[in-house]
Amino acid sequence: MVTMAETSQKALQQQILIDDSNIPDWLLTEILQRLPVKHIFKFKCVSKRWFILISDPFFARLYSTRINTSLSTSQPWNLLFRYLYEVRIVPSSMIDTRIALKQSQDFSSPGFSLNFLPYSKHDCPIKILASSNGLLLCCETFYWQKNYYICNPLIQQWIALPKPPKAIKSVAVGFICKDGHYEVIRFPTANYGPSNTLRLETFSSETGKWHCSIVNCPVLDYYIKTDSPVVHYNGSLHWLEFRHSKIITYDPHNGTNTGLHQMNLPDDKQSEHLSLLGVSRGRFRYFEVTDTCFGPRDLRVWVLSDYDAQRWCLEYRIKFSGSWIDEVNEFIPKDNFYIFPLALHPHEFDIVYLGYGGCLVSYNLGTRKLDVVHRNFYSHQLLAFVFSPWPTTIPQPFW
């Protein structure tokens, strides 16, 4: 039997939860903008007033300004598993979240997941191809790509793109999202013929269509390194070219000098396989592990000090044999001494991520400290995904 006191207490609790009429808009805005961004979008459903306040562009600008000017807070980020091949041995939790680091509440399940996409089967997980401004470009398959999705995993918004006009077995893909518009660029990963031209396909959200063009390529028999994610920097897309050790670049908005271009890698680079490109705190970097089969290996990181002159500066050169501390052997077997680069930390110059002994490890280049961040590591394909200060919404398709 419910007493009158209990009834009154319940009514008072409901009043406290619902009645915010005495709180002015400016104060409620100050309170809301201090919440984690993934919770803010859920709170749109609390009331019509909250929905209007949070949906106002002024709120988004205010929230972004607070994040950008904070000295103690960096934009949330994580490493995502791009491809998962051996799904029979991959834990279902990894399939669901695709996150490698358990460091941010914004990436905690079920707040961050790709299960909302229409194609998300456990036996064939969807592939993450690229990211831009808080959005992901995904595809159902690695080869013969035809069904592309653009999504914001934080607010679980997605759209499907029209299918490309031509089926190509293997493509190099780029993705740019800026000022409410986005573009997807793709071209064959290899060219074995004598021609210096190739077919480049571009999808633009402004037209809602794929556009095909024949463009020049500076390398005749190029081969794009697809296990190194494409990097958007200085207005251009950058892919590692494997056969000639170059960087292939493309600026989709350069109307006077169309086509692909090439950049040189550091002259003293050594690795042909174990390398990748990345951006740390706004600096373009090249990261490699020397791919010798025997003897000590080197870890090297360069920064591009002059983009136009293509001038590289060696930041770190570390010999593994003299840098690992003895405690490492307590949790990583000696017979699995296979090291490969996986990612650069987007906010910290000194931290890189490696695959080592079946584990994902972080390595501090300054202190030489090695930490295991993920055991039973199943993927050589990672993507550093950084949230935008305010979640990027995807314009609704008109096609």
Q: Any idea where the domains of the chain sit in the sequence?
A: 25-69, 74-94+115-264+381-398, 265-380
What is the model's pLDDT at position 72?
47
pLDDT tens profile 121-149: 555 678 999 999 999 999 988 899 999 99
Question: Omega of the bond prior to 110 within 30 degrees of 0, cis?
Answer: yes
Do residues 252 and 232 make contact, with C-beta atoms less than 8 angstroms apart? no
Q: Is the predicted pLDDT of residue 261 greater than 60, yes or no?
A: yes
In this prediction, residue 108 carries a pLDDT of 55
- Confidence class of residue 392 from pLDDT cuts 50, 70 and 90? confident
Question: Residue 6: its pLDDT value, please?
Answer: 57
The partner residues of 317 in beta bridges, in order of sequence, read 300
Distance CA 67, CA 74 (A): 7
End-to-end CA distance of the chain: 59
Our CA angle for 233, 237, 239, nearest 5°, is 110
pLDDT level of residue 349 (50, 70, 90 thresholds): very high
Given a contact cutoff of 8 angstroms between Cβ atoms, the answer to whether 284 and 273 are in contact is no
In whole angstroms, what is the distance from residue 23 CA to residue 30 CA?
Answer: 11
Q: Residue 208 in contact with residue 162, Cβ under 8 Å?
A: yes
Q: What's the pLDDT at 303?
A: 97
Instruction: Judge contact between 134 and 80, C-beta under 8 A.
Output: no
Per residue in 114-146, is it b (16+ CB within 10 Å) or e — as a string? beebebbeeeebbbbbbbbbbbbbbbbeeeebe
Categorize the per-residue pLDDT at 295 as very low, low, confident or very high, splitting at 50, 70 and 90.
Answer: low
pLDDT tens for 71-114 read: 445 677 888 888 765 444 445 555 556 777 766 555 554 446 68
Quickly tell me which residue has 């799904």 as its tokens: 87
The pair phi, psi for residue 241, each rounded to 5°, is -100, 130
For residues 304 and 332, the model is more confident at 304
Q: Is the pLDDT of residue 42 over 90?
A: no
- pLDDT at position 381 over 70: yes
* Strand 351-356 with 359-364, pairing: antiparallel
pTM above 0.85?
no
**H or E element in which residue 315 lies:** strand 311-319
- The C-alpha atoms of residue 300 and residue 296 are separated, in whole angstroms, by 13
pLDDT band at 12 (very low <50, low <70, confident <90, very high): very low
Least confident span in 19-23, 112-116, 283-287: 112-116
